[in-house]
């Protein structure tokens, strides 16, 4: 239907997560209508990120050099490690301003059905970091999904007796109505309840 290069661009854009065929077509035609310098800037940015960005040798977060900005920041609390599934999970935690420790990116979650076993994730590297000493707390911030919970439990079991292991609280989001929450969410909120009276 379209010239070869346009069809190829649409096909490549439609491979992106959340981008269907129609959205890919709209994006392709937007790029065609864009000034040449803007289109080439996009292409250069994609090329640059693929050439220059890799994984931090310590925590497996995204990094432009051997170590990421968080691992090289001397102001960070080096006694705690927050464990997340993917590099993108670091961003919302950083935005809170509540956590000042280090991170460890697993590269996914355990999922035997999909063939993802402990050795496919950066779990051994995490254990190694804890075994080096100086880590007083490991915060498990995997997603509150079946695979995320299984991953958190596996790591907690592996770290038993080595350091304090905590899990992010889960339950009702601020502003939520009980009548719209499912039973699992309410159950998690009840299990993670805390005292307000100071007793």
Q: Are both 84 and 131 inside the same structural domain?
A: yes
Asked whether 138 and 168 are in contact (CB, 8 A), the reply is: no
> Strand 77-84 and strand 62-63: pairing?
unpaired
pTM: 0.81
Q: Are both 37 and 81 inside the same structural domain?
A: no
Going 123 to 124 to 125 to 131, the CA torsion angle's sign is positive
* Token pair of 11 as six digits: 């096909």
User: What is the C-alpha to C-alpha distance for residues 116 and 141, in angstroms, rounded to an integer?
Assistant: 18
Q: What is the pLDDT of residue 174?
A: 76
In a domain, residue 63? The reply is no
CATH number of residue 18's parent domain: 1.10.8.420
Q: Are both 47 and 87 inside the same structural domain?
A: no
In a domain, residue 184? The reply is no
**Considering its fold, how many domains does the chain have in total?**
2
Ranges 23-27, 109-113, 122-126, 176-180: which has the least confidence: 176-180
* Token pair of 38 as six digits: 């803007």
Q: Are both 35 and 89 inside the same structural domain?
A: no
- Residue-wise pLDDT for 45-73, tens only, equals 999 999 999 999 999 999 999 999 999 99
């Amino acid at each position: 239907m379209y010239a070869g290069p346009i069809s190829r661009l649409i096909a490549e854009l439609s491979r992106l997560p959340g981008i269907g065929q129609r959205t890919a077509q709209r994006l392709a035609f937007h790029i065609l209508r864009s000034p040449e310098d803007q289109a080439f800037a996009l292409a250069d940015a994609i090329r640059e990120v693929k050439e220059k960005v890799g994984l931090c040798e310590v925590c497996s977060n995204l990094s432009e050099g051997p170590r990421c900005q968080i691992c090289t920041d001397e102001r960070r609390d080096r006694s705690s490690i927050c464990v997340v599934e993917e590099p993108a999970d670091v961003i919302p935690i950083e935005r809170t301003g509540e956590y000042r420790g280090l991170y460890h990116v697993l590269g996914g979650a355990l999922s035997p059905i999909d063939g993802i076993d402990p050795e496919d994730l950066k779990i051994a590297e995490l254990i190694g970091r804890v075994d080096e000493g100086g880590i007083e707390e490991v915060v498990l911030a995997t997603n509150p999904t079946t695979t995320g919970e299984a991953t958190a439990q596996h790591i907690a079991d592996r770290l038993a007796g080595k350091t304090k292991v905590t899990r992010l609280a889960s339950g009702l989001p601020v502003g939520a109505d009980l009548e719209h929450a499912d039973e699992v969410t309410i159950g998690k909120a009840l299990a993670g309840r805390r005292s307000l009276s100071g007793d």
